[in-house]
Structure 1
Amino acid sequence: MTSVTNSRTGGCHCGAVRFEVMLSDGLQSVRRCNCSYCRMRGSVVAAAAPDGIKILQGEDVLTTYRFNTGTAQYFFCSRCGIHTHHQRRSDPNRHAVNVACLDGVSPFDFPEVPVTDGINHPNDTGKPARLAGILHFESASEP
């Protein structure tokens, strides 16, 4: 792990899983995806550096889910059900982490989150990855 600013800690909702992650470019890579699973899961993720996730506690309570091609592997706490991170389909040596699991970070900290077109995944189409849209969040003003 190379940069202090890209090093973060986090965990699941119940606290059974704790991890340290080295983000590949800080929180500049936040995104969502519109594939069938990500659309239902709804998390905002940030890219982790290769081998950038270290489970500090709770590896025994992490469980996984795979679908479609079975390449991507989604990790979640078997106690509280929170998705903590996943192994990416586009590059199985890379991971992405759920920003809501990072200490001191909320998905609502980002006024705009790019949404990648996972419905038309590059591994299926042979075409470059493309943007499906932008998710916007605007905080309601205080009364």
Structure 2
Amino acid sequence: MPGDTNIRTGRCHCGAVHFEVALSDGFSSIRRCNCSYCRMRGAVVVMAEMGGVNILKGEDMLTTYRFNTRTVKHFFCSRCGIYTHHQRRSDPNLHAVNVACLDGVSPFDFSEVPVMDGINHTNDTGKPTRRAGTLRYVPSD
């Protein structure tokens, strides 16, 4: 498991985009989502407050993707296509950051990752966010 330092650096795959992030709650907020986009993207994310993601290099290389309600900005490198972070729909004051982009961190560092029910998103249902399940990683010997 990565250390609990809340300030992390990260980058996209090709190195065109470098950023620094202040994690809101360390790795305690780790999660995945089962909505159509997240299911295909497969990223494990952690949270940062609005303003907690500071692009150090390559801001001009970032592009955005919006779907469905078009309210969420999903940021990714226009050169290598790697998703770095997005502004959350259920709480626009938070960014979700791709842990695979953080230096020294891998999604496989976490044995269990909660999966949130984005198919039945709280903004659509008016109900509290529901946990859909748990993603488990069990390394082989």
TM-score for the superposition, normalised by structure 1: 0.95
Separation in structure 1 between the aligned mates of residue 40 and residue 89 of structure 2, nearest angstrom: 17
Query: Structure 1 stretches (4+) deviating beyond 2 angstroms?
Result: none
Separation in structure 1 between the aligned mates of residue 113 and residue 93 of structure 2, nearest angstrom: 24
Q: Is the 8 A contact 2:20 2:54 kept in 1?
A: yes
TM-score for the superposition, normalised by structure 2: 0.96
Give the fraction of aligned pairs with identical amino acids, expressed as a percent. 74
Give the secondary-structure state (helix, strand or coil) at the position aligned to 1:24. strand
Unaligned ranges ≥5, structure 1: none
Hey, what does 1:84 align to over in structure 2?
84
Task: State the superposition RMSD in angstroms.
Answer: 0.9
Deviates more, 1:48-57 or 1:14-23: 48-57
Hey, what does 1:113 align to over in structure 2?
113
Mapped pair 1:123 → 2:123 = yes
Hey, what does 1:50 align to over in structure 2?
50
Q: Deviations over 1:91-118 (max 9, x none)?
A: 2221010000000000000000000000
Unaligned ranges ≥5, structure 2: none
Mapped pair 1:60 → 2:75 = no
The residue type paired with residue 100 of structure 1 is: A
Give the secondary-structure state (helix, strand or coil) at the position aligned to 1:49. strand
**How many positions carry a matched residue from both structures?**
138
Give the secondary-structure state (helix, strand or coil) at the position aligned to 2:135. strand
Hey, what does 2:138 align to over in structure 1?
138
